[in-house]
Amino acid sequence: MNARDLFDLSGKTALITGSSGGLGLAMARGLAEAGAAVILNGRDASKLDAAAQALIAAGHKVTTAVFDVSNEAAVMAAFDGFDRAGTAIDILINNAGIQFRKPMVDLAAEDWRRVIETNLTSAFLIGRESARRMIARGRGGKIINIGSLTSEVARATVAPYTAAKGGIKQLTRSMAAEWAAHGIQANAIGPGYIVTDMNTALVEDARFDAWVRGRTPSGRWGTPDDLIGAAVFLASPASTYVNGQIIYVDGGMLAVL
């Protein structure tokens, strides 16, 4: 294949969970600019519509699917809807996630479950439904799970998030091991500290901001657009022989942590 075609996503359809804002929306825009039709997802329909309208105005093919990624019945209903509409997903980015900070001794089991279900169980559920259909269709597919630096290292006060993101790394490897024979590649991206709604409080905390800048070799926070290159690469024919990997997009932080 000509190197220029390696990153061409024309004719492909991508579902990006948690794409009403933040990293998900940036990656959706990147995939759309590479030629894919994109399906945006979130729980808040009006936020999702506003995001979709902006991409449509830029000339991209966009639809929306409002559902809670942590709810199995809602995931099954969404995929029934895709089937009824004749929508086949070629590329899945499991991006939706939540985080909050609380010492483990104060953590309720319900808090634990909510973070694990939103950040990890969702990737299993949506990955399973996507792979079932990719396998039946026989045309392979690309699955990209969003991890974190906490896929690799732990920090205090984010235990369920760290457990979920560590799980994302091993879930990605399990998907690669089980589905490679069907032409499906499963890889992950581990973002460093990126300026999004999830991190507003941290960006505004002068001490934390200085810590991030000081500990990141690139000397700055990441932006959502910094994720686009890795997402397009892993979604495209350029990564056909890359499987079960996690690519850290962190300005070099993990290398020196």
Binding site for ligand NDP (CB under 6 A): 17-24, 41-44, 47, 68-70, 95-99, 118-119, 146, 148, 191, 193-194, 196-199
Alpha helices in 117-227 (DSSP H): 122-137, 159-179, 200-204, 206-215
- Which lies closer to ligand NDP via its Cβ, residue 69 or residue 134? 69
Min dist CB 133 to ligand NDP, Å, is 20
Q: Are 157 and 200 in contact, with CB atoms under 8 Å apart?
A: no
**Rounded CA separation 18/13 (Å):** 16
Judge contact between 122 and 69, C-beta under 8 A. Answer: yes
Q: How far is the CB of 248 from ligand NDP (least distance, A)?
A: 10
d(CA 58, CA 139): 29
Q: Which is nearer to ligand NDP, 229 or 237 (CB)?
A: 229
Nearer to ligand NDP, 19 or 185 (CB): 19
| Integer Cα distance of 238 and 163 in angstroms | 31
Is 161 among the catalytic positions? yes
- For residues 18, 145, 134, 114, the Cα torsion angle rounded to the nearest 10 degrees is -60
Smallest separation, CB 225 to ligand NDP (Å): 12
Residue carrying the six token digits 């979709």: 52
Q: Which residue is nearest to ligand NDP (CB)?
A: 22
Shortest spacing between CB 83 and ligand NDP, in angstroms: 20
CB of 56 to ligand NDP, least distance (A): 17
Q: What is 143-166 written as a DSSP string?
A: EEEE--GGGT---TT-HHHHHHHH
Are 189 and 247 within 8 A, CB to CB?
yes
Identify the active-site residue in 161, 193, 241, 248. Answer: 161
Question: 150-155 contacts: CB < 8 A, separation 24 or more?
Answer: 151/188, 151/190, 151/246, 152/190, 152/248, 152/254, 153/254, 153/257
User: Closer CB to ligand NDP, residue 79 or residue 193?
Assistant: 193
Residue number, 118 or 187, with CB nearest to ligand NDP: 118
Which residues does the annotation mark as catalytic? 161
